[in-house]
Each structure stands twice: as C-alpha cells, then as structure tokens.
Structure 1
Amino acid sequence: MVDLIYAATMAFVICLLTGPILINWFTRLEFGQNIREVGPKAHYKKAGTPTMGGIIIILAVLVSTLVFADLGPEVIIALFVTLGYGFLGLLDDVINIIAKRSEGLTPRQKLLGQVIIATILAAAALIKLDVGTELLIPYYDGTIDLGVLFIPFVVAVVVGTSNAVNLTDGLDGLAAGITIIVTITYAYILFLFGEMELAIFTIAIAGACLGFSWFNSYPAQVFMGDTGSLALGGALATIAVLTRTELFLLIIGGVYVIETLSVMIQVSFFKLTGGKRVFKMSPIHHHFEKSGWAESKIVVRFWILAIFLSLIGLMGLSV
C-alpha cells in the first residue's frame, strides 16, 4: 500500500517539476495547437496553446513505475502499449504542428498502428501471460469464454478505448480528470486482486494526470494532445485486458463510452437524414458548450458522472 502512495506522489511531483520546463520549451518551438474551424468559436482563443503535453504524463508514469514496480511481464507489456500508443500520438501531433492543420496522421495510418500494437498485446496476454479467453461479468459471479474471438475482441477494446479517451480530450481538464477517477478505481480493483505491480503502474497514471491537471485546468497552459490521450487509452485498455475486466471498463469508463456513442449517433443520423443532427455538436461535451454551459461547469459535471459510474462499476465486482 505504501508503494502505491509513493508511486502516485512521485508521478505527481515529476509532472509539477517538468511541466513548466516542457511547456516553455514547447512555447519557444511554437508547438501550438491548431483549432478546427468547425469547432466552437470559444475555442479559437486556444489556438497556439502548447500541445504534446502527454509527454509530461508519460515521462512521470514511466519513471515512477520503473522505480516502484517490479518489471514483470505484465508491467512490461503495459508500458509497451502505453509507450507505443503514445508514440503514435506523438507522430500525429508533430505532423499536426508541422503541417499547420488540425489533423495529423491519416485515419488509416493511425488505425493500422493501433491495431498492430493491440494485436501484440492480445497475443502476449494469451501466450506469455496466460490470461485466458474468459471475461469477468459485472454483477455475476461467473465468466464468459470468448474462445477464438478473444484476439479481435481485445483489439477492438484497445483501439476503441484509446480513441474514446482521445474524443473526450476536448475541454480543459476533462480527459485528465476523468482518467484520474478511472485509474484510482482500477488501482483499488488491482489491489483487491493482489496485482500490486499493475496497481503501482495504474496509480502512477492517476498521480501523473493529477500533476498534469495543474497546468491543464481551465484556462489550460498545455494540452495533452494525441500523445497523451492515445497513451492513456491504451494503458487503461491494457489494464482491463490483463485483469479480464473489459466489461467493467465499459461501466467505470462510462464517460468515454458516452462521448464515443454521441459521435457515432451524430454521424449515423447525419448520413441517414441527409444532414440533420441529434446534437448541436459532437462529442457531447461540445453540445452542452453550444447550449450555453460554461466550460468549467461541463468538466466538473462530467467528473461527477465519472465518479458515479465508477461506484456503479465497483458494485458489480465479485472478488
């Protein structure tokens, strides 16, 4: 338990110490965010805010994990996926900055990289870690065996989670705050399961996001960018896969799910109706923004929802 506190504290302090240095460096290099023209007009003033702040989070998680966790195969694969997805996000952010556009890698390029890394995770979980093909079922003391569907299911979970966190990263402090809540919840689950090394990795993410929030809270001094959001999504999905709690992640990370569904519903309805919309804008946090809610109010209310969903997820746990 003490190591969990130390890991979270070290990650938090690393972010506080490295944040100003990297933010100043990004500013001097003009690594600023390009804002989509179709986005809310209130966001235009955010153009030029340093991005790629996910590097701060990843650095803090990496150092804290290496210091306090034993580098067993589970921790190694978790770090591999986190760093791999973080690298994909970094490429996306760099291209975004160099090309002076709001999109970096093409969707096909990004998806290919995500699928490759997720497939390696799935194979490692089966062959090296012997996780098995069964999933724990919330509110039921039993499992469901996916059999041959395990690998495509894991790929879908990892790719879907990373993109869901990416979609949630649209308001100052939103994605970081939600991830703090989700990772603290998962650290508790891992503690109950006796998975202390993975718990250290997980709580380090919470500490890093907490430290990052110091600079990312409204008005943000830095954005995590795809570097951070893809890495965090990959990390969360890996934790769920290695603990067979993918179905719990749907509940505990329910805000990510809601954000993603809002985009899917919006796009589908737009195509089916020839241009009509369900929401004023998606992801859904932008709908509330266009409805007149203050950005800080949306963020805090989404945090509250995330806490509620985490509690609901924990209620479905049978240890």
Structure 2
Amino acid sequence: MICPQIISVGSVGRALNTSIILQTIIPLLILPALLTHQTTKLLMTHTKLVARDLHKPGQPRIPTLGGLAILAGIPPPLTLVYLTTRQAEYLATAATLAAVATIGFLDDLYQFKQTKKVALTTLASTPLLLLPLLGRLETTILGYNIGLLYYPIVILGITGAANATNMLAGFNGLETGITTIATIGILISALITNNTNVATIATITLVALLTFLHHNHYPAKIFPGNVGTLQMGAIMACMVILGKI
C-alpha cells in the first residue's frame, strides 16, 4: 500500500518539475537566448543593409538591422508567458515592441524626419494605454490614483525613452550596454517589490540583450539600427510604467 503512494508522489513531483521547466526556464532563459542568437547570426550573414563603423581602422561596413534579433528574442517569449498566465501586461509589452520595431525598421529603410518618427512612436503606446480601460492595470502610485494623468505619462514615457535611446547610437555596444544596465536595475527593483510581471519581462529582456551584446560590443559585428534602439528605449519605459518605478 505504501509503494503506490510513493510512486504517486514521485510522479507528481516530476510533473511539477516539468511544469516549472515549461513555464519558467524555457520562456525566460532558453527561448530569448536561442531566438536572439540565431536571428543575429542570420542577419550577420544575410542582411544587405550596412553602415560604416567610424570607430574601427578603415571604417569597415557593418551589418545593421540587428534590432530584428531583439524583436525575435523578446516579444515571442512574452507572448508565450501571456498564453500561460493570461496577464495582459505581457501581451501589451510585446505589442508595443512590435509597433516600435516596425517604425524603426521603416526608418532604417527610408530615413524618416525626426518629427515624423516621434509622431509615429506615440502610436506605439496604444497597447499600454488600453490596460486601464480593460481593467488590467491600476493607475495608483504611492497610494494616489493619478487617473487621466496616466495617459500622457505613458505617451511621453514611451515616446521620450524610445527616441532618447535612439539618439545614443555612436559607439559599439553603447545603446545595448546602457539598456542592459538599466534592465538589471529594474529587475532588482521588481524583485524587491515582489512585482512578478515586471521581473519576468526584465529577465526575458536581460537575456536577449546580453545575447545580442555578445555580437554588438567592440569590435561590433552587427549594429542594432533604429529598429533596435527604439525597442530598447520602449522596453525600459514599459517596465518602469508597469512597475510604477
């Protein structure tokens, strides 16, 4: 009578371990690293859009559009976590990144004027603007309900952060490195405040950024392009807004 019980408990334990692996380790660590790495390698060998690296002897032409690897490494795992948890913050963040990535990609191809790029970036804040309307996010900060102020804060936050990070481009790995450091700080803050959603987003982001930084630090083998820098700023803004940091 004891053996079946032991077997049953062991089976439950293995099932729980499998569940933890499927729901945590794969989407948080393995998937963003794998998707970012493979997409980066693909872009390094196949992209035809290049830029001169002014900080290397001879100013070689370096593949750009590396931000597409970030697009591959962050939104899909976030969407997977959303499908598991049904927490709208994950889907809203993924949608925001997809929107700014589209704007950045088109900017890389057609060189938008700064005013047009800023105007288009404001539209990318729409997913986060919908969260309070759908009852998925409280607009209370430090005990005070900011109400309608939430909306201009989100628009200015995402637009400002995305375009500010975009203007940082200049040195190999600079934008990626700064965003990585900021993400570590946000992750620590989220863990201290027990904000699981933001901690999850930050973990996925950190893994993807570190994977991309391996190819982007000096001497850079690929540049993020506007498609990457806009995403870096937007993801920081999303985490700060959702975490009320």
- TM-score of the superposition, structure 1-length normalised? 0.62
Name 1:313's counterpart in structure 2: none
1:266-277 residue pairs with structure 2 within 5 A? Answer: none
In structure 1, runs of 5+ residues without a counterpart are 36-40, 96-103, 136-141, 246-319
Following superposition, the deviation at residue 80 of structure 1 comes to 0.7
Following superposition, the deviation at residue 8 of structure 1 comes to 2.7
1:227-238 residue pairs with structure 2 within 5 A? Answer: 227-238=227-238
The structure-2 alpha-carbon separation of the partners of 1:19 and 1:42, relative to structure 1 and needing over 3 Å to count, comes to: closer
Match of 2:139 among 133, 148, 152: 133
Name 1:49's counterpart in structure 2: 62
In structure 2, distance between residues paired with 1:154 and 1:65: 20
Deviations 1:37-90 (A, max 9, x none): xxxx64795462111100011101133334445342111111011110111100
- TM-score of the superposition, structure 2-length normalised? 0.79
RMSD: 2.6
In structure 2, distance between residues paired with 1:47 and 1:132: 50
Secondary structure of residue in 2 paired with 1:49: strand
- Percent identity reads 21
The structure-2 alpha-carbon separation of the partners of 1:195 and 1:160, relative to structure 1 and needing over 3 Å to count, comes to: same
Match of 1:12 among 23, 33, 56: 33
Name 2:130's counterpart in structure 1: 124
In structure 2, distance between residues paired with 1:18 and 1:153: 33
The count of residues paired between Structure 1 and Structure 2 equals 222
The structure-2 alpha-carbon separation of the partners of 1:244 and 1:129, relative to structure 1 and needing over 3 Å to count, comes to: farther
The AA in structure 1 aligned to 2:39 is: T
In structure 1, distance between residues paired with 2:66 and 2:32: 14
In structure 2, distance between residues paired with 1:192 and 1:129: 25
Name 2:7's counterpart in structure 1: none
Name 2:115's counterpart in structure 1: 108
Name 1:175's counterpart in structure 2: 175
Secondary structure of residue in 2 paired with 1:33: strand
Match of 2:75 among 56, 62, 67: 62
Secondary structure of residue in 2 paired with 1:186: helix
Q: Is the 8 A contact 1:54 1:225 kept in 2?
A: yes
Deviations 1:269-295 (A, max 9, x none): xxxxxxxxxxxxxxxxxxxxxxxxxxx
In structure 2, distance between residues paired with 1:132 and 1:192: 19
Q: Is the 8 A contact 1:74 1:129 kept in 2?
A: no
Larger radius of gyration: 2
Name 2:241's counterpart in structure 1: 241
In structure 2, runs of 5+ residues without a counterpart are 1-19
Q: Is the 8 A contact 2:129 2:154 kept in 1?
A: no
Match of 1:88 among 59, 83, 103: 103
Deviations 1:205-255 (A, max 9, x none): 11111111111011111000110111121122112212222xxxxxxxxxx
